[in-house]
C-alpha cells in the first residue's frame, strides 16, 4: 500500500476535492476521478470507500439514498469545504524533494559497464514513457486550445494541462540527459578496461 505525505492528493483528498465541485454519487465520482487524475491508478472502490469516511468526519453527507450504496447522493459540508480550502492554500504543504526511484537506484547499480548498460536500458524505457506522456498531454492541450477557451473552468483546465505537460517534458529531458551521461560513463569505463 502506498504511503502518502500530508500535501499529496491521496484518494480521500481527491474525492473530497471533486465532491466540493457539486453533489454526486460514488459511481459518478469515480468516473470524475479517472478523468481528473488519469495517472493516479485509484482503485475502482476509491469513491465508494472514501465518501462514508468523509461523512464520518463531518466533511460530507448523504442527501439522497440510492438503491445501492454506490447510488447514494453525497454533498460536501461547510466543514468539508473549509478543510478542502485549508489543504489547497496551506503553504506548509509545499512538495518536499521527490524520493526519485531512479536516483535511488543509481546509488546501487555499481560501476561496471555491464550493469551501467543494463541500467541505461531501463532509463531508455522511462525516457520513452515520459516522452510519450508529454506528447499525449500536449495533444490534449492543443485540442483544448483549438476549441477555444469559453469559460473559466476550461481556462483552469488549460492551465493544468500546460503544467502537467511541462512536468512530463521536464522529466523526459532529465532522463535524456541522464542516459547520455551514463553512456559517456560506460564508454569511459570500457576505455579504461581496455588500457
Residue 34's pLDDT is what? 87
The predicted model scores a pTM of 0.64
* Banded model confidence at residue 134, pLDDT cuts 50, 70, 90: very high
What is the mean pLDDT of the segment spanning 149-170?
86
Q: Map the chain to HEC letters.
A: CCCCCCCCCCHHHHHHHHHCCCCEEHHHHHHHHHHHCCCCCCCCCHHHHHHHHHHHCCCEEEEECCCCHHHCEEEECHHHHHHHHHHHCCHHHCCCCCCCHHHHHHCCCCCCHHHHHHHHHHHHHHHHHHHHHHHHHHHHHHHHHHHCCCCHHHHHHHHHHHHHHHHHHHHHHHHHHHHHHHHHHHHHHHHHHHC
Domain boundaries, the chain: 11-93, 101-194
Q: Which fold has domain 11-93?
A: Arc Repressor Mutant, subunit A (1.10.10)
Residue 141 above 70 pLDDT?
yes
- The Cα–Cα gap between 124 and 119 comes to 9
Name the nearest CA neighbour of 17 among 94, 81, 89, 90: 81
What is the mean pLDDT of the segment spanning 131-146?
87
Residue with the larger pLDDT of the pair 85 and 98 = 85
Q: At what angle do helices 26-36 and 11-19 cross, to 10 degrees?
A: 110
Residue with the larger pLDDT of the pair 160 and 79 = 79
What percentage of the chain has pLDDT greater than the value 70?
88
- Cα distances from 110 to residues 59, 107, 114, 119, in angstroms, run 50, 8, 9, 10
Amino acid at each position: 500500500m502506498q504511503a502518502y505525505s500530508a500535501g499529496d492528493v491521496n484518494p480521500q483528498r481527491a474525492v473530497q476535492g471533486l465532491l466540493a465541485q457539486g453533489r454526486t454519487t460514488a459511481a459518478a465520482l469515480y468516473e470524475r476521478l479517472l478523468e481528473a487524475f488519469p495517472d493516479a491508478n485509484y482503485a475502482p472502490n476509491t469513491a465508494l470507500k472514501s465518501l462514508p469516511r468523509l461523512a464520518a468526519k463531518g466533511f460530507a453527507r448523504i442527501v439522497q439514498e440510492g438503491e445501492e450504496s454506490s447510488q447514494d447522493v453525497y454533498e460536501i459540508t461547510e466543514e468539508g469545504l473549509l478543510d478542502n480550502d485549508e489543504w489547497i492554500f496551506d503553504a506548509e504543504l509545499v512538495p518536499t524533494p521527490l524520493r526519485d526511484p531512479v536516483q535511488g537506484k543509481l546509488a546501487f547499480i555499481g560501476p561496471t559497464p555491464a550493469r551501467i548498460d543494463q541500467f541505461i536500458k531501463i532509463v531508455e524505457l522511462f525516457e520513452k514513457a515520459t516522452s510519450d506522456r508529454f506528447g499525449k498531454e500536449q495533444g490534449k492541450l492543443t485540442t483544448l486550445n483549438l476549441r477555444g477557451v469559453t469559460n473559466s473552468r476550461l481556462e483552469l483546465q488549460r492551465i493544468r494541462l500546460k503544467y502537467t505537460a511541462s512536468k512530463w517534458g521536464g522529466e523526459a529531458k532529465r532522463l535524456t540527459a541522464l542516459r547520455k551521461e551514463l553512456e559517456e560513463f560506460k564508454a569511459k569505463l570500457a576505455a579504461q578496461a581496455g588500457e
